[in-house]
Structure formats: structure tokens, C-alpha cells
Structure 1
Amino acid sequence: MLELLAPAGSMESVQAAVQNGAGAVYLGYGDFNARRNAKNFTREEAAAAVSYCHLRDTKVHLTLNTLLTDRELPRAAQVAAEISEMGVDAVIVQDLGVARMLRQVAPDVHLHASTQMTVHSLDGVKECADLGMTRAVLSRELSRDQIAYICQNSPIEIEVFGHGALCMCYSGQCYLSSMIGGRSGNRGLCAQPCRLKYGWGKRADEYPLSLKDMSLVGYLKELEDMGVACLKLEGRMKRPEYVAIVTRVYADALREGREPTAEELRQLEAAFSRQGFTQGYFLDQKGPDMFGTRQEGEDPRELFAQARTTYESGENRKTPVRLYAWIQAGEPAQVAAEDAQGRVVQVEGPVPEAAVNVPLTREKVEGQLGRTGGTPFHCEKATARVDEGLSLPLSALNALRRQALEKLSQERARPPERKTGEYHPGVRYENPKAPPALTASVRRAEQITPELLALKPERIYLPCDEGAACPDAVRRCQEAGVAVSVQLPRICWDREMPQLEQQLNTVKELGVTEALAGTLDGVRRARELGFQVRSDFGIGVYNSQTLKELKKLGVEGATASFELKFAQIRDLSKAIPMEAIVYGQLPLMITENCIIHNHTGRHSCEEGQRLVDRKGEHFPVVKAWGCRNEILNGKTLFLADKAADYQRLGLTSVRLLFTTESPEECVRVLERYLGRGRYRPGEFTRGLYYRDVE
């Protein structure tokens, strides 16, 4: 049956999830997870939670799904060793370096690729499998046909989100919170700025980035038939009553193979919603109907009170066991218990005496064995062998049953024996001494002018659709002696792959041999098509171990996360050449929903669309590959006057990111970074390179 994975932000939520039918729970322990504001577990609480869950046939997944620095990895390795010793079943990861560390320290623990890895196609899933993952959590934006296709062809298990909050941006690709508030979603401290008001003119009077919560409770059989291994419920920040209600509704519908009742749907909405729920992504029906906000009101006290009784009033989660008894003359009474996994325990009691009045019978003994109330077990079958004419106090028989079940509980909660290892950062690479070369990425082929090429950037990154549509732009670069790399879209679904491959093959026939990919999906696709591959910022290079993993995947160069400080980039051990973005309107979001279409009612991709926030800051909205949107930072990253700082970081190259600039402005910017002219953007930022990101 489809595994139901429930959130647990506290021990009370663990109990709420388990007692209401969860097949697994996921929780955070320590500071390295995507809900650092949640009440994460201490070591003792986490160990108690694992024991509690395993006793009741429930798995435990630990979230280690944030990007970590080199300095944080040793502490994360301690966490990994501790949770492996506790018996945690799987670890959910975003950071490739964390995955590498886990394979060293806790090789027997399953690795699950977090939705923060932006895995949205079969290529991404296969890349996760090559990295040792046993499960991939798909991007929440995927439609039913794409999920089904991936499940049918996946070499590993597939997990999908089934209920709870939707982010406006593809998970793992959002930088809005960090850039405007210094709190990174990739570091577990998203401030949820997408839930605030924005507008299209001068006033922020709408909620164009606030999606309703997802609910797929009416599609459980379809998901199971597709081959989805696990359905995830979101909500580690929510109260235990919410966890109890949502878990119970989904668990009952799954177990009974039915659709939810009208009352169950009412309970889901009362527990938490943003003006109802949406299935828009799953049904491939994107649009303004998917958006909503949380309406303030009183908590449903009666519903929450009922929910509390499900996990505060005894055991609702009963595991089947078989009990056996042997009552024989001259031998100590024996009782054994066996669970469904074949664990058997045995206890002994007093020697039975000869009966004076009413002798003990097999039926009486079996009846006493079956009285498992108040325990997490129910007696599936009781079998007794009782010699005739014997007597044994029922209190002694009851004590033997209790002892057997307690002993079985200890066995079930016992952590498995596992291999452990030590974390080894490995060889350290010296930073190159030569100053970094200048590269440039463009959005439009028209930005590649003879004047720009005359300034001799080392490399031009050209989007694949622009390169295929404008072969003259590629030829101009080649004739000028400037290398061209084709830039893959960060998001490309499997059904869009033929179009992408056609564009890539067209560019390849023009002589382009190198590609820039922003997700693992793109890395694999480009590599299989014969390109040399560099990784873009979307892969989240935050530590030296990630660079080593990328090298293992055949990646020949990487882009540093622009959430790192300069000092952190400098200190990375660079196993492959590294680049950093030093100019441009940084991409803050990439969205599956076209917010321009939602606003205007038409597909209008011309430049000039801008969101405005409540502080009057403007954010350009531009077209992304596949009728998607990118939301850019309104302030331009500008570091031409800080060249001395970025030239000391051991970078092989630094990139100018051209988006909305005119061709003439591109030339002026490049000249300025070459030390000529006096260009300076009107409003600029130093990004996050000089300030701490939480």
C-alpha cells in the first residue's frame, strides 16, 4: 500500500501521526533541516520518537535537507552518526555534499532526495539513483501524466506531496527570502515573503504569489496505481491536532480504498486552508484559481478537541501479534509472543500445581492471552497447550502475558546493527593564483553584438532556444574567438524533452560542445547528448564536498551559490574550476504558474512587467523556457569596484548575468568590469557576498 508520510514538529505530533495511521513520519533534529523554526528534536527526544514509531510499525525519516558550509559538515556528521545509531530509517537531503558525507558516516541509512533538489524529470531521478539515493521526492508542480511517466521508468522509489502548503517557486530555486530579508529557504529559515501583498502598478494590493494548499485526497487510488511509493503530508510547523486530522482522513481513505466523505473534506478545510484547496498542478490546470490566502478566524475547538483524544486517550495503533502458552506438569509455565516480522520472545513463570477444584483449560488460557488492551498490540491468534488437571493463578498468567509483550516491545524498538564510518573531507585543492576571466550570460541573442565580442569575454552563455533560433549569434561568437556554452533551462519536464533535445542538437551541429545546467536533470541530459557540462547556481554549491560529487558526475566546472559570502567561496576546496556571478539582476524565483497570464488574462512575454511589494521595491518578471516566469531582483548586483575582493577567491572565472539590459548597456557593463568607463546602475546591491545569511 502507498506509504503515508506525516509531519512531526514535536513528540506530540509524532504521537498524533502514528495513532492516526501514518506509515512513516519525518522530523527535524538539530539545526540542519528546512524547518529550523520548528521545535526540532533533542537527541533524547529523537531517540524516543524512533523507539515509539518502530514499536508501532512506523518508519522515521530525518530531514537534513539544507545547504551546509564546510564548517557545518563535521557537526552534521555527528548528527548522522547519532541518528544512524538510533535507527532512523532514511535521511532526506538537498545538499550533494551532505549526501557524500552520509555515505561515509552512515552507509546503511537510506538517502532520499528532497524536493529541494528540484527533481522534476526522469533524468533527475536517474541522477539521484547514481548518487546512491533510494527515493526521490518530486517537485510539487508536476502533473499526473509526468508523475506516472517517471514512476513507470524510475529505478528508485518516488515520493510526491499530497497535502499542504505549496511554494510559488520550484523548491530549491527560491532566493526571494534570502535576498530581501537575509533568511534563506535553502538554509531552513524561509520568511515566506510570497504570502505578502504585491501589485503590478504602484500599489501592493494583491496576492499573486500566495498559492492555496494542495490536497490530493481524492486521487489516492490513482497515485497508488501509478506506482507512487509514498505520499507526503506537509506541516511540520503546524499543531499536532492538524497532523492528527489530516493523517486520519488520508489514512482511512487509503486503507478503505475510497474517496473522502463530505465530512472529512470539511474537517480538512477547518484544520487549515487558504480559501480552500487546489489540485491545479496535478490536473495540469494552472491559473488564478490556484491562489488564496489564509483567512484569520477562531480555531475549530470542537474538532481539535476530538483530534486530541485520538492520541491522548490510549492506544489506537495496534500491531498484530500471536501469543502461545505451554502449561505442563512439573515445568515452569511459558508464554511466547511473535510479531509479523518473525520476532519471537519467550518468558517463564511458576510451575503449575495440581487442581483442587476447577482445572485450567486451553480455552481459558487462550482467552487470557488475548487480553492485550492498553498495549500497542492486538492478539491476532492465541494458542495454548494445557495438560489436564493443573491449576495456575490467572494473575500469574496475566503477568506472563505482560512480560512477553514488554520483551517483544523492547525487541521491536531495538535499533538495528549498522556500519558506521568517519567523515573525511579528503584532499584539499589549492586555489588557482591567476585572476579570474570574465564570462557573460545573455537572455537574448541580440545582446551579443560585435561591440560586446570585441571586448573578448572568455565565454558567452546562450540559452538553448536562442541559440537554436539564432545560429548567426553562435557563428559571430566563434568567428570572434569567444567560446559559446549553451544554457539549458532549469526546468524541463519529460514531455518537453523532445523540444529541448532538438534545440540542443541544433546548437551542437553549430559546433557548440559545452553546456551550462542548473539542475541535476539538466546535467544528465546534457552529458548524455555529448556536451561537456558546467553546473549553474541552481544546483546549490555550498561546500567543498558538493564540488567533489559534481566532479564524480563528470561536471567540469561549477557556479558558486550566490548565498555564500566571499570568504566562504575563498575557503572552498575547488576540485573543479569555479565561477561566481558578480553582476546582474539575480533570479529570485522560477515559477510554473505564469503570473503575467494570471494578471492580464493573456500570454504576454514582452519586457517591462514588474511586481511591486509593500515597500515600493520593484521586481521584473520575465519569460522563462516553457512558458514559465522568472522573478528578478529589482536591484542590480554590482561589484565592478570590488574587483580586488573577488579576484582573491580562487575563482577561474566570474560571470556577468545580462537579463533586461539593452545590447548597448551590456557593452558598457563589460567595459566597466574590464576597468574602463564609469558605468554604474541606478539602484544596485552587493548581494549577499558581504553579509551573513541565516
Structure 2
Amino acid sequence: MKLTKQKSVELLAPAGNWECLRAAVANGADAVYFGVDKYNARVRAKNFQMDELPDIMAYLHKYGVRGYVTFNILVFENELDEARVLIEACMDAGVDALIVQDMGIVQLIREISPDFPIHGSTQMTVTSPEAVEFLKPHDLSVVVLGRENNEKHIKKIAEKSNVPLEVFVHGALCVSYSGQCLTSEMWGGRSANRGECAQACRLPYDLEVDGEVKEMGDISYVLSPKDLAALEIVPELIEAGVYSFKIEGRLKSPEYVANVVSKYRKAIDEYFMDSGYSPSTEEIRELQQSFSRGFTYGFLKGTNNKELLDGTYPKSRGVYLGTVKKVLKDAILCEIEAPLKRGDGIVFDAGRPDQKEEGGRVYDLRKKGNKVDGEVSGGKIEIVLGRHDVNLTKVHIGDKIWKTSDQELNNRLRKTYEVEQAHHLFPLQVHVSGEVGQLLTSKWTDATNGNIVTVQSSKELEQAMKRPLTLQYLGEQFGRLGGTLFELDTIESDLNGEVIVPVKELNRIRREAVEQLLELRQQPRQYTKNAVDTNRSEVKQIEPITQPNLIPLCRSMEQIEAACKTDITWIYADFEFTTDYPQAVEKAHQYGKQIALATPRIHMPGENGILNGMLKSNPDAILVRSLGAVQYFTTKNLNIPLIGDFSLNIANHRAVDLFLERGLKRVTPSYDLNIQQVVDMLEVAQSDKIEMVIHQHLPMFHTEHCVYCTFLSEGTDYTNCGRPCEEHRVSLQDRIGMSHPVRVDIGCRNTVYNAIEQSGAEYITNFKELGVQNYRIEFLEESGEKVEEVINLYKEALEGKRDGTSVWRKLKATNQLGVTRGQLIN
């Protein structure tokens, strides 16, 4: 017996261009998502232009496929008007939904239209029932869960919410929580929250343990996950409550789209037919052939740090073939364990993926010197490549062999979409009526969407002398729908008496009905649309700031005590283990200081105990870092302030307003904003309720993948790892020798911090002039002495006793690695 609550699910495919769009439709996608212009999380994809939207949606709706536009980035203040134009263009074209990250854009869409569908992007970092509940007032149609949610989480969220849940089931995995990766922004001004991810997770790093580089053999890619492939667990995910199965890949080829969509279409359909489907070895190989860094369930079956990544290569490999046994004069003797034929592309893996690898197309296959025709499925085989393709002196015994391409497979996949075609036919229901002396009236119903057209004969019905319009005869004539998208499902007749009409009339009626139904399919859906001004109507009054507040964020008891010895009034505590919070609160109160406690950045099902434990510590405020935590604390009607942190991704005044209206006392802008974007926002936002972080080690990666467990333990997760994080300190050393600290939180999630501190001291004057009252400086591993020194330095700057350049120079002189302006200047 099926446990699922739903009768159907959605298969959602990516499309980076028209070919991919056609491939998705022809292979059975229920819906397609795609980007338009620059406002999406894949700016490197070709994407579509705004003026193409009507044609795209007409094409998709013709085949009964929904189209969602990705608007899954943060939107800056000076872009809000452009954003409004795109939103309205999507509504006019009949787009079925916008996939949105920015809460300010959610608010804008709802002002424009109360009924235009919004899907909450995975970039929102929605990972708990509380986070879904937070979005409820904004009437989202679908919520895309974080890739880190497992089956049990999904089931708990589904049980507590009526909002359909979307889950990624195939494609590249981000090692960092979506919406919480700042690495590209920090290192190159290419924000992942703006669709410009530079894939820093795919770079090699050395693991530094307690200050010493650990010997890791050929493992260098310690943050590069395998690719997600959940084909085998489709039934379990349906029964857990997944509504939409999302395939990643807007940068991928149309062959990839055709391949992956067709496989998941089959798995979903066979589940509902109760056929006990299980993918074959060949089907898995075909998926690997299109794109694969090795397959994993990701986190869907729970955290297994040992299975998440391979560590020896960061790029697609294809199908593993076998190993080199001997290098011959004109060929390579190999032991293979997967099919191989002439024309296939292969590469020899010597364990140095960062260097040029030998490989090419298979020219011939031999066994003991004799040519072999057709495909070889396994065993020892001599592989002959073109003499200009491979340097045999650089191929070694023991090298792994990968099959990187299969022309025959690609040709087969291309045939599915090269000619425009529907994946299946759509049923029509026909009803006819009339009598002698009247026109024949036929009512045609498109059963898929309920569209109805009525077509009458141009000639009156006559008394039949022979061959009257029987139900069978009408079915034969109206059922001639070859070459159309339709098939006749049912036909009913209310004809009075034995009547007849010329057969050419029946043919005309059929053609006209089909044309009209196709036209109705392609008409854009209508939405309510209100005129909205994206700018503030009232003139902002800025009060001069005479006594700004400086708030240090401390990550150790030594730092807390040092901060207490200065004359600041507020402290934030952000400890790896929230169980140490009571001690921090007690210490701050001993010195007469007020203290706010920081929540974890991620809130998962079953973790409300962590948040409740923070309240029991008796803090004076809470620094809130997730939508789930905002929802949890605001529903408790606390008498202490809630302060929104950078991880809420606030990038414009509309997002500021939304979070303040939802119960936060003040908010922190996203770290994706540079100085001009911050200024643009402060000029129109409630700047007295905005807190600026002006000193910190930027938190770059925030990930469920635990480096400590993976490389310092024999275990697979927190239950059996032995907690090496309590005994050791790990850093990741990059290619230029910078060591970036890796720290663990109460949920065993890792944060990789930038090695170099960044300072916004030079912009303090600008922020004060714009009405910013509260300023934060964050510490990581600094000693108590250093904490006091930096606090006093910034206090002097805020009080006007020294300028920002003086602070910058002092920090640069006293820090071994110097100091950077970070993303503010990007």
C-alpha cells in the first residue's frame, strides 16, 4: 500500500537555451525552469531574453508544460525598478511562477499581484517547518528545500505544512548551503547570491591540522562533492512528501537534459503504476555518461561524510572503465568492466586532474592483436587511439580509464528533440448534437486543462438515406488526429434521428476544433496586476548620530572577558557550542554588560531545543540567523529584542521593511553588498534600524559536510566520529598559502572563515551621515589582548578621535596577514 498523500508529482527540468527546452518537453518534463537576462543564479548560462517570454510560454503551454522563471538572486536597491519590469513581463507572458530568493522581491511581487505564483528558492535556505511557516503570510505556491534536508526532515516538514515541497534530485551539489556561500564574493566580487559562483569549492586545498599540513596522498579536493543522483530512491522521496523533483543543470547540454529527464520520467511513472521499477545498470551508466563526478545520494539518506566526496578530482569523469595493464607499441592493454566501442571518448587518469590528461577517441579495439567489431562489455582489451590523440609514453600501468563520451548515446538522445514533438498525446472529449434542419453542433473539451470550444457545421443536417452519423462513424472521423497533440478519448452523441452531413464538413470541424484548442492552450494565463512604485514615496529624515554603539561579537570566553573590560555596553556571543552560552551570559552580567546570543545559521527539524536552550540562558537579546529561528522566536512574544544577521540576505529597503514588520528590532545587510550598494540602501531604508558589520573574518563556506569527520575520523557523522573538532583545529590552505580556519557549530556544520580580516573603517563617516547607529566588530581567534586593542581602535574612530584611514593603517601594521576591505570595494 502506498503511503504517499499525493496522487501525482512534478518533474521539473532545467533549460539554459531553446534546445534544452525542447529536450525537456519531448522527454516528459511536467515543468521547466529557466533564467531571463541577468536576474538569475546562472548568469553564465546563455539564458533567455525578456522579449522571448511570450514565445517560450506559448511553446510550453502548447505541450501542457509549466514554465517557471528563476529570479533566485539578491536584488540591490538600484535594481528594484528593473526587477518590477521583469516581474510584470513574466505576468503578461503567462509565466506559471517566479522562483525567488530575495524577501524584498517577494514583498514587491505581492504588492503587484496577490495571485501571481511565487516559489521559494533553495537560496532562501528553508530547511525546517518553522521556515516554511515564516513564508506562509506571503502565500508561496511551492517551497524548494535545502539540499541538506534528508528524507526524515522532508517528511516532518511535509506533515506540518500544506505547501508543496520541491527537492533537488539530480545534478551538481553545492558544498555550501545555498544562499550562505560568500567565497566567490570574498575572493573575486562574484557573488553566488548573484548567480556568479566561481566554484571555489572545486579548487584544491591542503588540510592543515593544528598548524601542520596533513599528508593526504592524492586527495586535494576536500570541498568538491560528487554529483547528486536520487533515481533509485524516487519511491521513498514521493512517500516522504516530495511534490516536485528538481533536476539541476541550466549550464548543461540538451543531451544531458534529455537523458536525465527521461530516466526520472520513467521512475516516477512506474512508481504510480506500482510496477516495482528499479533502474538498470545501463540506465545508471547512461546518466553517468552525460555528466558525473561520481554519484551520491547527497544528504537525502542522511549525512555520510565519507560518501559525499571522492577528493581526487573536481570535474566530470563519465563512466569508469577500468585500469591500464600494459602499454604496447601502438595500443594500451586495459582491463575494462564497462562497455566500450569504436568512437567512444576516453581519458587516462594518472591522479593529476589539474594537469593535461592523455586521451581521445577509440579508433580500434583488439584482443590479442586481432581486431574486434562491435561493443566489448568487459575483460582485457587492447585500445587503439589516433596517433595524434595520445602520447603513449605518458600513459602508465595502473592509470584509471574513464569513458568521457558516447556518440551513439548522444545521437539517440538528440533524436528525441531534434524534431518538435510531444512526449504524449492529450485526450479530447467530444459531444455532438442536432437534428434534421439544424446545424451539427460539436463541443470539444481538452481534458487536460478543461478548455472547451464549440464548432458547428456550415450545412444543415439532412435525413440520412444510408450511412447515418452513428457514434462509431463519428468516432472514426473525429478520431483522425494523427499529426496533432491530441487523441480522441470519448465521444457522446445527442443527435435526433438518423442524420447525415458531408464527410468534408466533419473533417473541417475536426481541424477547426484542434486549431482553436491549440490557440487556447497558448494564450497567457491572466493575473491581477497593480501599479506599484518601487521607490519610497516619503522623504527620509536622517537624524545626526552623535553616540554610535559599538558591539563586539566574541567567539570564546577569553574574548568575552576582554570585551567586558572595555566601556562598551553590548556584547554578542557566537560560540561553537551553545551549551556554553549560560557561562557567557553570567560573565557579561557580572560586568554589567548586556549580551545577545547568536543562533546557528541553519535551523533543521528537531533543533528547536537549541533555540529554547538559548532562551534559558537568560540573554538580553538574540542574534537571529535563519528564517526558521525568526519564526520560532517571534511566535513566542519575547520581551527581548531580536536582531537579524547577515545570513537573512537583506539587500534592499523592501527586505529591511519586511523583517522589521515581522518582529525584528534591527537587521544586518547581506555581505553581498559593496559600499555603493550599501549606501544606496541606507539612503532610503530605515537606517537607524540597520546594523553595520565593520570588522570581521568573512564566513565563506557554510556547509553540512564536516571536514573534521571526513579526514580526522573513521566515522561517517556526528554519532560515530569521536568529535575530533574538540581536540584539533583545522584550516584549509589555498593555492597561495593562505590558511582559512574551519570551525564547527552545535549542529556539526562547518564554517570556513577567510584568513585575512576585513575592515570597513574607512566608511564609518559615510554610515554615520546616513543615520547608522549600531556597528559591529567580529572576532575569531584573537587573544583577549587583541580584542581590547581592536575595540578601543574602533571606538576612537566612531567617536571621531581618529579617521578610518588611521584605523586601517594600524590594523594593517599589527596583523601578520594584513587586512582587506573585502567585498565592500568589489
TM-score by length of 1: 0.93
Q: Give the AA of the match of 1:491.
A: I
CA distance in 2, matches of 1:662, 1:656: 15
Give the Cα–Cα distance (whole angstroms) in 1 for the partners of residues 428 and 486 of structure 2: 6
8 Å Cα contact 1:118-1:170 kept in structure 2? yes
Residue of 409, 413, 417 corresponding to 1:303:
409
Structure 2 equivalent of residue 168 of structure 1: 175
Identify the match of residue 251 of structure 1 among 246, 262, 265. 265
Structure 1 counterpart of 2:600 = 489
CA displacement 1:433-459 (0-9 Å, x = unmatched): 20532111111222112x422322242
**8 Å CA contact 1:183, 1:189 repeated in 2:** yes
Residue of structure 1 equivalent to 2:427: 320
Secondary structure in structure 2 of the residue aligned to 1:378: strand
CA offsets, 1:165-215, max 9 Å, x none?
110000000000111121111011111111122222569961111111112
2:72 is equivalent to residue 72 of structure 1: no
Flag the 1:102–1:401 CA change in 2: closer, same or farther, 3 A: same
Q: Give the Cα separation in 2 of the matches to 1:132 and 1:389.
A: 54
Match of 1:562 among 671, 692, 706: 671
C-alpha distance in 2 between matches for 1:467 and 1:251 = 45
1:397: Cα distance to partner? 2.4
CA distance in 2, matches of 1:577, 1:360: 77
State the partner residue of 2:556: 444
Q: Do the aligned residues in 2 keep the contact of 1:578 with 1:652 (CA within 8 Å)? A: yes
Partners of 1:215 and 1:157 in 2: how far apart? Answer: 21
Change (3 A) 1:368 1:67: same
Residue pairs, 1:674-685, within 5 angstroms: 674-675=795-796, 678-679=810-811, 680-682=814-816, 683-685=818-820
In the other structure, the counterpart of 2:700 is 588
**AA aligned opposite 1:604:** P
Q: CA deviation at 1:315?
A: 2.9
Task: Select which of 260, 276, 279 maps to 2:297.
Answer: 279
1:138 CA displacement:
0.9
Change (3 A) 1:567 1:433: farther
Aligned to 1:85: 92
* Displacement of 1:428: 5.0
What residue number does 1:294 align with? 315
Matched residue type, 2:258: A
Q: In the alignment, residue 229 of structure 2 is paired with which amino acid?
A: S
Indicate conservation of the 8 Å contact 1:18/1:317, yes or no.
Answer: no
- Check if 1:520 corresponds to 2:627: yes
Tell whether the 8 Å contact from 1:557 to 1:578 is kept in structure 2 after alignment: yes
Give 2:241's match in structure 1, choosing from 210, 227, 237: 227
SS at match of 1:12: helix
State which of 115, 118, 134 in structure 2 corresponds to 1:108: 115
Does the 8 A contact of 1:439 with 1:459 survive in 2? yes
1:689 and 2:810 are equivalent in the alignment: no
Q: What code does the residue aligned with 2:180 have?
A: Q
**Aligned pair in 2 of structure 1 residues 278, 466: CA closer, same or farther (>3 Å)?**
closer
Alignment CA distance shift 1:312-1:335 (3 Å)? farther
Tell me how far apart the structure 2 counterparts of residues 504 and 359 of structure 1 sit (CA, whole Å).
Answer: 83
Which 10-residue stretch deviates more, 406-415 or 356-365?
A: 356-365
Map 1:572-587 to 2 at 5 A. Answer: 572=681, 573-575=684-686, 577-587=689-699
Matches within 5 A, 1:211-226: 211-226=225-240
Q: Which has the larger radius of gyration?
A: 2
Q: 2:9·2:242 contact (CA, 8 Å) conserved in 1? A: yes
CA contact (8 A) 1:354 1:391 kept: no
Structure 1 residues 413-439: Cα deviation after superposition (integer angstroms, max 9, x where no partner): 222332101223344543442053211
Which one-letter code corresponds to 2:304 in the other structure?
K
What SS does the corresponding residue of 2:512 show, helix, strand or coil?
helix
Q: CA deviation at 1:629?
A: 0.8
Instruction: Output aligned runs, 1:391-430, within 5 Å.
Output: 392-393=502-503, 395-424=504-533, 425-426=535-536, 427=538, 429-430=540-541
Please list every run of 5 or more consecutive structure 1 residues that lacks an aligned counterpart in the other structure: none
Name the CA distance, whole Å, in 2 between partners of 1:125 and 1:170.
17
Which region of structure 1 is more displaced relative to structure 2, 648-657 or 200-209?
Answer: 200-209
- Cα distance, 1:466 vs structure 2: 5.6
Deviates more, 1:40-49 or 1:357-366: 357-366
Choose from 455, 461, 473 the match for 1:347: 455
Whether contact under 8 Å (2:578, 2:610) holds in the other structure is no
CA deviation string 1:135-170 (max 9, x = no partner): 221110111111111110114222111111110000
User: How much has 1:274 moved relative to structure 2?
Assistant: 0.7
Amino acid at match of 2:233: Y
User: Which residue is equivalent to 2:284?
Assistant: 265
Larger deviation, residues 280-289 vs 195-204: 195-204
Aligned length: 684
Asked if the contact 2:25/2:422 (under 8 Å) is kept, the reply is no
More displaced 10-residue stretch of structure 1: 297-306 or 121-130: 297-306
Please say if residues 667 and 689 of structure 2, whose CA atoms lie closer than 8 Å, have aligned partners that are also in contact. yes
Percent pairwise identity: 32
2:765 paired residue number: 644
Offset at residue 233 of structure 1 (A): 1.1
Whether contact under 8 Å (1:61, 1:90) holds in the other structure is yes
Which secondary structure state, in structure 1, belongs to the residue aligned with residue 516 of structure 2?
A: helix
Deviation digits for residues 324-352 of structure 1 (CA, Å, limit 9, x no counterpart)? 44575444444431022432102234426
Alpha-carbon distance, 1:535 to partner: 0.5
The CA distance in 1 between the partners of 2:464 and 2:51, in whole Å, is 50
Structure 1 contact 366–384 (Cα < 8 Å) conserved: no
Aligned AA (1:273): S
User: Which residue in the other structure is 1:46 paired with?
Assistant: 53
Match of 2:617 in 1: 507
Q: 8 Å contact 1:583–1:655 — kept in the other structure?
A: yes
Q: Could you tell me which of 85, 94, 119 is aligned with 2:126?
A: 119
1:28 aligns with 2:35: yes
Q: CA RMSD for the aligned pairs? A: 2.4
Distance in structure 2 (CA, Å) of the matches to 1:147 and 1:643: 44
Structure 2 vs 1, CA of residues 14 and 150 (structure 1 numbering), >3 Å: closer, same or farther? same
Unaligned runs of 5+ in 2: 1-7, 272-276, 318-345, 347-403, 714-720, 797-801
Identify which of 34, 56, 63 aligns with 1:56.
Answer: 63
1:96 Cα deviation after fit: 0.8
Which residue of the other structure, out of 473, 485, 489, is the alignment partner of 1:376? 485
Give the direction of change, closer, same or farther, for the CA distance of 1:452–1:272 in structure 2 (3 Å limit): same
Give me the TM-score of the superposition, normalised by structure 2.
0.79
d(CA) in 2 for partners of 1:81, 1:649 = 32
Letter in 1 for 2:644: S
Q: Work out the CA distance in 2 between the residues paired with 1:162 and 1:62.
A: 19
Distance (whole Å) between structure 2 residues aligned to residue 301 and residue 294 of structure 1: 20
Change (3 A) 1:641 1:183: closer
Matched, 1:655 2:771: no
Separation of aligned partners in 1, 2:466 and 2:105: 70
* Distance in 1 separating the partners of 2:654 and 2:431: 54
Question: How many Å separate the matches in 2 of 1:456 and 1:476?
Answer: 15
Q: Mark the CA change 1:649 to 1:564 in structure 2 (over 3 Å): closer, same or farther.
A: farther
Matched to 1:286, the amino acid is N
3-state DSSP of counterpart to 1:583? strand
The answer for the alignment partner of 2:586 in structure 1 is 475
Contact preservation (8 Å) 1:34, 1:185: yes
Q: Which of 714, 717, 740 pairs up with 1:619?
A: 740
Provide closer, same or farther for how the CA distance between residues 470 and 23 of structure 1 changes in structure 2, counting only shifts above 3 A: closer
